[in-house]
Structure 1
Amino acid sequence: MSITFYWHDYETFGVDPSKDRPSQFAGLRTDENLNVIGEPLVIYCQPQKDCVPAPQACLITGITPQHALEHGLPEPDFIEAIHQQLSLPGTCGVGYNSIRFDDEVTRYTLYRNFYDPYQREWKNGNSRWDIIDMMRLTRALRPEGIEWPDHEPGRPSFKLE
């Protein structure tokens, strides 16, 4: 079994993975040498009628409920497509701040749609990797060579902007 990396990210209709719903998912599979395998997956999720999107989230992502409704999949089909990618044997799911946010979005969405929320993380030699901690370590140990943003001098910012 060969190991592959599945680089992925969510956009959501809010900041709380337990309550707010996904609006978009993007993923790309690479081999261990970072050569792209297959086609990228970029899909929208139709908003649920019982959840009100946070206006600030729509302004930040640029994804309106109307756009997601028109171009998106129903949530069961949306998470099925994601689950298929993250569950392929030998997959390491990779993201930025994913352990604290994206993986939680995946788990809650899987659970709501009657999938085991954890199995994709360990079954068939699968794993996950959050590269934000690698970036923090890089800044702490070898900061030269990268222009690091700061909130104020000496206080690092790892926010994606």
Structure 2
Amino acid sequence: MANTLYWHDYETFGIDPSRDGPSQFAGIRTDENLNIIGEPLSIYCQPPTDRLPWPQACLVTGITPQSAQQKGIPEREFIEKIHRELSLPGTCGVGYNSIRFDDEVTRYSLYRNFYDPYEREWKHGNSRWDIIDMVRLARALRPEGIEWPNYEDGSP
């Protein structure tokens, strides 16, 4: 199979990937020319019954435990679908701040559900790419190319 990019992002019930579980996942596969391949995936995860969500996370994402319970699927099925997408041979998993957050959410979710948490990152020529540093580079080298938000004091 040709190399593909799988663009993805999580919403979670908190800011600690080791403790706060996922509430939603969205992903879309493209070829290396950014042509969409297949159907996008958007799924909700039912919250665990042994942990409370961080209230601020619910306010930021707009996803309450009740709505995730109603719209979602159990974490085992949730991570199985994600694992299937990210493990497809030749896949490069792409995200924004994914090395520090989304990849950790994936790893902890895989581990909790008895999957190898790292195999999807290397097996079958797979890889991962966090575009946050590329975005930082674009701002540093060509700040006029994009309308960047600044703090009130004018700093980036």
TM-score bin (small chain): over 0.9
Q: What does 1:121-160 correspond to in 2, within 5 Å?
A: 121-153=121-153, 155-156=155-156
**Quick one: which amino acid aligns to residue 84 of structure 1?**
R
Q: Distance in 2 between matches of 1:8 and 1:153?
A: 33
- CA deviation after TM superposition for structure 1 residue 155, in Å: 3.0
What corresponds to 1:159 in structure 2?
none
Q: Compute the displacement of 1:152 (Å).
A: 4.6
Q: CA deviation at 1:148?
A: 1.1
Give TM-score, length-normalised by structure 2. 0.97
**Residue 114 (str. 1) matches residue 114 (str. 2):** yes
* CA distance in 1: counterparts of 2:21 and 2:155, whole angstroms: 32
Distance 2:26 2:143 in 1: 29
What's the offset of the Cα at 1:141? Answer: 1.1
Specify every segment of 5 or more residues in structure 1 that has no aligned partner in the other structure, as ranges: 157-161
Give the SS at the match of 1:48. coil
In structure 2, give the amino acid aligned to 1:55: P
Cα distance between partner residues in 2 of 1:77 and 1:150:
40
Moved over 4 A (4+): none
In structure 1, what is the equivalent of residue 90 of structure 2?
90
129-138 or 145-154, which deviates more: 145-154
Residue in structure 2 matched with residue 31 of structure 1 by the alignment = 31
| Pair 1:41 & 2:41 matched | yes
Shift of 1:154: 5.5
How far apart are the structure 2 equivalents of 1:119 and 1:128?
12
Give the corresponding residue for 2:73. Answer: 73
Deviations 1:99-138 (A, max 9, x none): 0100000000000000000010011000001111100011
Question: Offset at 1:145?
Answer: 1.8
2:55 is the alignment partner of 1:55: yes
Q: Distance in 1 between matches of 2:91 and 2:5?
A: 6
Q: Percent identity?
A: 78
Q: What is the CA–CA distance in structure 1 between the aligned matches of 2:153 and 2:33, rounded to whole Å? A: 36
Shift of 1:151: 2.2
CA-to-aligned-CA distance 1:4-44 (integer Å, 9 cap, x gap): 00000000000000110000000000011111111000000
Q: TM-score, normalised by structure 1?
A: 0.94
